[in-house]
Structure 1
């Protein structure tokens, strides 16, 4: 990886003697979605604030580079390359959506003509043109979030920090936001995402880091993280009792369910492991009526890595 969008080593931050980030390392490739997961209070928002120059790291932190710029010596260059959408909307409800956008254009020192052009393009892109002249206080939660991200894009940032961008949104608005994030990445933007929705990280992230007690407990692709946790298996179901008994005799290591006429064989869910199981079935002359692969999900990963008894807020209402 020659030019990561974000590269931080030994990131540290403490408040009133309490360590929030204890020397974590982060590397985010350009044009990807990187998701930081963790329990409430794990330090996700602190990491965003540090990397976006809103707060300074503790003495003893290592090298931190964002968009190729040194965070300590080139903070202005970092700010020029990034956009931040925090947990709480930055939208001013007393003015219209269009006026919010034009205000951002002024803050980015765009000319009046350029500001109006960018504003019109982004309002159309985020399906807010019809509501542009209305006070932002009249917008729904999903509309405010879309306007919030549109405002972030006024400066054409190369890296966007999204700190729990879909908290409180209904399922339809959440899926709309997912599509917006995917489109941003397709356009070459790097997204640093914190979220309490495990399904959201699973859907969007190229890589996920799980933050716990100030340290990175594990990092990898969603599939890599799921394979860290035991419990994956292949389930074979039969409709013919005779075929089921034959298979049960041949597969001594399988778990039997005589009532359901099914067998379970431990598997990590990888292609190689599945091929080995299929070869065993072919060798034994076994043909199941149904074969399904079951792997642990991010809920299991979160429980195992954080020791938490409660998983973050889930979007269980959306279909899996």
Structure 2
């Protein structure tokens, strides 16, 4: 019975309070807003700023092979080939870069939630290098005295980098008095680059070392890689037209494989002339963590 009485008392107090609040709202001036916020109900925006990036180059593989025709006194005497791969290890690259974005957001009617989408650009500027580089080779040659042999493709350095990165990020957010928090995810498109510097092919045939490719050559390749990104961020509106945006982005690219090739011709082995092609592939993926701060104009 005491519980029933207590429940009735609480219910009665709540009813009186609700009636008083309703009367206060009715008596308030029509111009008084229900809540004050600097965040517009909807807006297009554009902004620019900078990013601190940490880029890792993962699943890296460098493959090299040489294929040649062997001549003696201008007459074809056989053919040779060798190939092999190695996995270069790269350190994490830390870089400051410029960034820009444009987008749109809109409040969901009757709630503090909003949705939006933004297109971002980040010049990541991440790069890493290993030197010197030795790619082990195993091969064979045909002719009067066919045999197997080992060797190395040697280079002064091997470099990889990631520069331009674009992302299209739909997001949802929660609005507050002077800004909103948001979470989003979407696809990325990033440009990756590889450079193989001052490369020569060497062979160890019957205990004798030969320079098969002669003068060193350098190779490079670039391509665009698709990927994805997750973004979490917060905005702070200084005025309804201007706001700061700070965000954290974790982006991954797909594993891409890029080819390189170049001819060689040398008299390197006991008067024999080797004419052929040194070729191979660069492959790997990247992951980037970025903290970005920008100032934005809302329209």
Give the alignment's TM-score, normalised by structure 2.
Answer: 0.15
**Which structure has the larger Rg?**
2
